[in-house]
Amino acid sequence: MDLWPLACLIVLTTGLIALSVIDLRTGYLPDPLQIALAVAGIGIVMVGSPVGITWEWAALGAAINSALFWSLRWLISRLKGREAMGLGDVKLVAVGGIWLGPLALPYIMAAGGILTLLGAGIATLATGKPVWRGEMPLGPGLAAGILGVFTAALLQAPWLQLTY
């Protein structure tokens, strides 16, 4: 792997791991870290994304991803009668959109949901308490989805197309 894609992968991985650890410990995805990851993504897109995302696709990704997740958050919160998802999760998928564009969102959502449920299941088995009755941080699952899609794009996975 060339130096530029590797450097981009390191920046993304570092930011996503930091966000995941904080979310697991506190249930919070801090804005300063998300802003730093967004700015890094914008800079990378402007210099030349190693996964082929242009500034137009990055802008569309941030807008579409955040609008869809905000709408999902609003709908589920109304159905449950309480806040169902934090705004940090909405911001995180917007950051993912900057790095990967809007076509990556289904993969990010699928990975986020599956990995969050797996984590809840493992935590339930480890503690003997049903974690799903409380709050489950979605951030680590979303972060893993973003990182997984970015890595797959770097490896030129044949099933993944991030732009037209």
Averaged confidence pLDDT in the chain: 92
Structure confidence by residue, pLDDT tens digits, 94-153: 999 999 999 999 999 999 889 888 888 887 888 887 765 567 788 999 999 999 999 999
Q: Locate the DSSP E strands across the chain.
A: none
pTM: 0.91
DSSP state of 27: S
Q: Where are the alpha helices (DSSP H) in 49-104?
A: 55-80, 87-100
End-to-end CA distance of the chain: 24
**Amino acid in position 44:** I
In the numeric block, the tokens 């984590």 are attached to 119
Residue 5's closest CA among 155, 161, 143?
A: 155
Q: Where are the domains of the chain?
A: 3-154
